[in-house]
Amino acid sequence: MPSEFGLIRQYFTRPSADSGVLLGVGDDAALLAPPVGEVLAATVDTLVAGRHFPEATSPAAIAHKALAVNLSDLAAMGATPRWFLLALTLPEASEAFLSEFAAALFALADAAGIALVGGDTTRGPLAISITALGSVPPAQALRRSGARPGDGIYVSGTVGDAGLGLREALTPGETGLSAAQAAYVRNRLDYPQPRLALGTALRGRATACLDISDGLAQDLGHILTASGVGAVLDLEALPLSPALRALPEREAWRLALTAGDDYELCFTLPDGLTPPVSPDGVAVTRIGTVTAAPGLALRCRGERVEEELSGYRHF
């Protein structure tokens, strides 16, 4: 069995071409230099087996998701990914697990332009904690607190897919989906796509932004609270995939509003301002309007809808 340092050298040490990495993996701490005129955006997320992903999830999917959720936080701030640190807790140092995990981790890291600069490994129940650092001009950083009455509310991609994917993972074949639909929603659960290009394109345009990790309604509520405003959502405008549209309408809406793990961006724009075309081609849909009256109101085809909503609970 490899030692901790042998494991790090074998699977997680690579030369970095990033001029901002003055000292990377191998010392007590990394030395990093952000671009001149930019500030650091820092985020951390922990994924625990059986809590954040099913026990049978593949090492590749675990690695991708662990990094993707952090990249999604950087996207929500309009930040450019720079560096990340990995804390990996493993029941055993399985070479098969580590080989697949590291390959998927670096595949996404390379695609996002982010470099691994340090971390830690230890024995214990499977858990992955990643701290990601990005940079952004301070005046262009996206926040949750700038939404104003009259702003349009938008989301990227489609919502609710990961929640349906979790159902399919826990009760295979019982969702009534076709094989293709089941594969699609499982992929959305296991391999979320951080909307980095869209986040950068929203700099200087969005009045507020966050990523959808705990459910659209709950996460939008954070924008409303931080901004001191309310909102009206049009349920018929929710962007749903064909897999969600195969469900009864109200069930599809509930998943779209309450299921977590979509990692799409939810943002507000001044009324009349056209949303940017995302460089990666992801669709953007207007789903409602910010109001002066507090609270989140739902309507469908002009009629008010009463619905008790909640999102993912961490405890």
CATH number assigned to the domain comprising residue 239: 3.90.650.10
CA–CA distance, 114 with 85 (Å, rounded to integer)? 10
Residues 135 and 175 grouped into a single domain: no
Q: Please give the C-alpha separations between residue 150 and each of 4, 40, 214, 271, 290, in angstroms, as whole numbers.
A: 55, 31, 25, 6, 5
Q: How far is CA 42 from the centre of its chain?
A: 14
CB 207 within 8 A of CB 148: yes
Whether residue 43 is annotated as binding a ligand: the answer is: yes
| Residues pairing with 217 in the sheet | none
Q: Could you tell me the residue range of the domain that residue 24 belongs to?
A: 4-140
* Whether residue 163 is found in the same domain as residue 263: yes
Q: Are residues 159 and 126 located together in one domain of the fold?
A: no
Q: What is the pLDDT of residue 17?
A: 67
Distance, in Å, from the CA atom of 177 to the CA atom of 180, rounded to the nearest integer, reads 8
Say if residue 254 is in the same domain as residue 201. yes
Q: What is the distance between the alpha carbons of residues 181 and 186, in angstroms, rounded to a whole number?
A: 9
Q: Is 145 annotated as a binding residue?
A: no
Q: Position of tokens 């625990």?
A: 48
Q: Can you tell me the distance from the alpha carbon of 210 to that of 266, in angstroms, rounded to the nearest whole number?
A: 6
β-pairing, 230-234 with 152-156? Answer: unpaired
H/E stretch holding 211: strand 208-211
Tell whether 45 is in a known binding site: yes
The residue ranges of the chain whose pLDDT is under 50 are 311-312, 314-315
Annotated binding-site residue? 73: yes
Domain count within the chain: 2
Q: 120 Cβ partners below 8 Å, 6+ apart? A: 86, 87, 88
- 271 labeled binding residue: no
Q: Is 52 annotated as a binding residue?
A: yes
User: Which class for 307: exposed (0-12), middle (13-18), buried (19 or more C-beta within 10 A)?
Assistant: middle
Three-state DSSP at 32 gives strand
Domain check: are 176 and 127 in the same one?
A: no
169 and 133 fall within a common domain: no
At which of 140, 162, 178 does a domain end? 140
Query: Which residues on adjacent β-strands are paired with residue 232?
Result: 289, 297
Cα separation, 65 vs 60, in Å, equals 9
Domain-embedded: residue 311:
no
User: At 128, which CATH number?
Assistant: 3.30.1330.10
145 part of a folded domain: no
Contact call for residues 124 and 47 (beta carbons, < 8 A): no
Tell which residue, 98, 84, 166, has the closest CA to residue 129: 84
For tokens 């940017």, name the residue.
276
If asked whether residues 233 and 176 sit together in one domain, one would say yes
- Output the pLDDT for position 3: 57
What pLDDT score does 52 carry?
83
Identify whether residues 67 and 19 lie together within a single domain: yes
